[in-house]
Amino acid sequence: MTTIGIVGLGLIGGSLGLDLRSRGFQVYGVSRQERTCRIAVEKGIADEAGLSLELLALADIIFICTPIAAIAPTLKQLIPYLSPETIVTDVGSVKTPIVQECSQLWDYFIGSHPMAGTAEQGVEAAQKDLFVNAAYVLTPIETTPTIATQKVEEIAQLLGSKTYTCSPEQHDRAVAWISHLPVMVSAALIDACTSETDARVLELAQQLASSGFRDTSRVGGGNPELGVMMAQYNQENLLRSLSQYRERLDRLIEYIDREDWDKLNNVLESASRSRSDFLS
């Protein structure tokens, strides 16, 4: 029977634990906080939970579910307790820098990114079936043992996720477009709207904003730390997407400015058609 270790019992780590235990795995959890460990055991996230990484000595597969900055440091601290073929994976939303560092630290490391979440955070937010129908991206590199990729893929499929395999670089470029760029585009929208200097117009804008503004501004109004983290760890790809976005925006502005309604219509029609390719 495969034994699972989870470091970091927040939304992702906690939800993983709930689902894996309900599928019969033995789950050991580690958190930096005593309180989180207690809740994790109470909620059925882990069979046992504690503060020391030593608890994971018997795990066959370990999920590092900490914030991005803590992933490689956590792996370093874990190494003394690992058997030579313990598989270690992470759940970070950027892959290139993590995989570069972690695969040098540990042969059986396979980077991954389960693309699930809610607006909530922490162990209290952990829920069953969070990963059902979500994308679960695996990012092996040349040196990654096939068995590591296979084992994590099997587990992702048990969770009900759709698995995808690509290089860390391909992952990071793709999520720059569909996840990190939208955050900046959307934050700039809120930022721009608040710049209105006519108090009555600003008040009206606030009163009249409805579903269109709500949806377009949602991800830009999300967790600032996450936004900064995306920009820090995926800076190059995000800048590349932003630069392309700015060009396309400038083109729209130009069409509106010179009243080229046919060209504006073409862009909007093409956007309307293309959108469905991203939402199949």
Please, which of residues 231-270 interact with a copy of itself by CB under 8 A? Answer: 231-232, 235, 238-239, 241-250, 252-253, 256-257, 259, 261, 264-265, 267-270
From candidates 44, 50, 145, 182, binder to a copy of itself by CB under 8 A: 182
CB of 265 to a copy of itself, least distance (A): 5
Nearest of 86, 73, 91 to residue 10 by alpha carbon: 91
Which residue among 70, 105, 141, 188 contacts a copy of itself (CB under 8 A)? 188
Please select the residue that binds a copy of itself; options are 44, 145, 160, 220, rule is CB under 8 A.
220
**Whole-number minimum distance, CB 183 to a copy of itself, in Å?**
7
Q: Write down the least CB distance from residue 9 to a copy of itself, Å.
A: 24
Judged by CB under 8 A, the residue of 40, 103, 181, 233 near a copy of itself is 181
Which tokens go with 195? Answer: 């710049």
Q: Does 189 bind a copy of itself (CB under 8 A)?
A: yes
Q: Which C-beta is closer to a copy of itself: that of 127 or that of 170?
A: 170
What spatial distance separates the first Cα and last Cα of the chain, rounded to whole Å? 36
Q: Which is nearer to a copy of itself, 100 or 244 (CB)?
A: 244
Any contact of residue 69 with a copy of itself (CB under 8 A)?
no
| DSSP line for the chain | --EEEEE--SHHHHHHHHHHHHTT-EEEEE-S-HHHHHHHHHHTS-SEEES-GGGGTT-SEEEE-S-HHHHHHHHHHHGGG--TT-EEEE--S--HHHHHHHHHH-TTEEEEEE----S--SGGG--TTTTTT-EEEEE--TTS-HHHHHHHHHHHHHTTPEEEE--HHHHHHHHIIIIIHHHHHHHHHHHHHTT---HHHHHHHHHH--HHHHHHHTGGGS-HHHHHHHHHHTHHHHHHHHHHHHHHHHHHHHHHHTT-HHHHHHHHHHHHHHHGGG--
Q: Is residue 161 at the binding interface for a copy of itself, with CB under 8 A as the rule?
A: no
In the complex, least distance from residue 196 CB atom to a copy of itself, rounded to whole angstroms: 6
Q: Is 135 in the site for a copy of itself (CB under 8 A)?
A: yes
**Smallest distance, Å, CB 80 to a copy of itself?**
33
How many residues touch a copy of itself (CB under 8 A)?
A: 92
Instruction: For a copy of itself, give the closer residue by CB, 44 or 117.
Output: 117
Among 6, 90, 207, 233, binds a copy of itself (CB under 8 A): 207
